[in-house]
């Protein structure tokens, strides 16, 4: 610890009402620490200089699901159809999928934003939308009745997963304590249980240049909804 730096961490947890509210808070630099999606890290770095500390080792992939009995067999068949997403800038479940459908599949969909992953999955299952965006982890948490009614149509390429990031005003000594504490929790059963609950079951150090800066070159900015 450098002279004058206090490594103690006293935190309070604040949960945003929804993704747009989180974005507003993050871009204004309000949270000292924030758990954010990969492209949020790009946005937060540009706006406030947020520094990613740790992430899970498993890459993040998005999924696009349809009803199991739906005749749709390729993403191209979604051209012109309504597709449900939790929020515009939810990375794996929306932003990344919409960009791939436009850039790789060369199709235009009609996005419908329904606030949560669960709502999106239910829109697809009930036929209110032709498909829904999500991630495998959130689909796995849904009831068997819902999961059995859906089929994964496509899975996106993987990217570095959600980081826990710190605002640059947080002293470096505090950042080190938080990083080392989270990494150390992977070495005992109680710690691993907590890490699973916060969706970082296998924590590794995160690095902006290596993990998230490549996303700046993909052209995702034109699919971000303000």
Averaged confidence pLDDT in the chain: 93
What's the rounded Cα separation, in Å, for the pair 63 and 92?
A: 8
> Cα dist. 142→70, 71, 147, 148, 189 in Å?
20, 23, 6, 10, 25
Q: Answer for the pair 27, 48: CB distance below 8 angstroms, yes or no.
A: yes
The predicted pLDDT at position 10 comes to 60
Residue pLDDT, tens place only, 64-115: 999 999 999 999 999 999 999 999 988 999 999 999 999 999 999 999 999 9
Nearest to 86 by CA among 32, 134, 21: 134
Residue pLDDT, tens place only, 10-66: 678 888 888 788 999 999 999 999 999 999 999 999 999 999 999 999 999 999 999
The predicted pLDDT at position 8 comes to 56
Residue pLDDT, tens place only, 149-161: 999 999 999 999 9
Return the biggest CA–CA distance within the chain.
Answer: 66
Pairing of strands 51-56, 163-166: antiparallel
Structural tokens at position 222: 């034109």
Is residue 3 very low, low, confident or very high in pLDDT (cuts 50, 70, 90)? very low
The predicted pLDDT at position 1 comes to 44
In a 3-state reduction of DSSP, which class is residue 188?
A: coil
The predicted pLDDT at position 84 comes to 98
Residue pLDDT, tens place only, 194-218: 999 998 999 999 999 999 999 988 8
Phi, psi (degrees; rounded to nearest 5) at 189: -60, -45
What's the rounded Cα separation, in Å, for the pair 133 and 96?
A: 10
Structural tokens at position 100: 């791939």
Residue pLDDT, tens place only, 165-197: 999 999 999 999 999 999 999 999 999 999 999
The predicted pLDDT at position 210 comes to 97
pTM above 0.75, yes or no: yes
């Amino acid at each position: 610890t450098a002279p004058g730096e206090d490594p103690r961490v006293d935190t309070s947890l604040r949960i945003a009402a929804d993704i747009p509210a989180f974005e507003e808070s993050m871009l204004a630099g309000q949270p000292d620490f924030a758990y954010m999606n990969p492209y949020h890290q790009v946005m937060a770095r540009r706006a406030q200089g947020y520094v990613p500390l740790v992430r899970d080792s498993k890459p993040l992939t998005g999924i696009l699901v349809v009803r199991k009995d739906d005749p749709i067999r390729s993403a191209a068949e979604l051209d012109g159809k309504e597709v449900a997403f939790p929020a515009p800038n939810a990375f794996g479940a929306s932003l990344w999928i919409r960009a791939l459908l436009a850039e790789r599949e060369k199709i235009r969909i009609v996005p419908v934003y329904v606030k949560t992953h669960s709502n999106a999955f239910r829109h697809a299952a009930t036929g209110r939308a032709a498909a829904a965006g999500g991630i495998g982890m959130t689909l796995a948490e849904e009831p068997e009745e819902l999961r059995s009614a859906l089929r994964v149509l496509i899975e996106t390429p993987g990217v570095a997963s959600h980081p826990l990031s710190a605002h640059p005003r947080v002293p470096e000594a505090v950042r080190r304590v938080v990083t080392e504490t989270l990494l150390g929790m992977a070495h005992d059963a109680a710690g691993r249980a907590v890490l699973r609950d916060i969706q970082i079951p296998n924590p590794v150090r995160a690095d902006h240049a290596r993990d998230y800066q490549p996303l700046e070159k993909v052209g995702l900015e034109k699919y971000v909804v303000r």
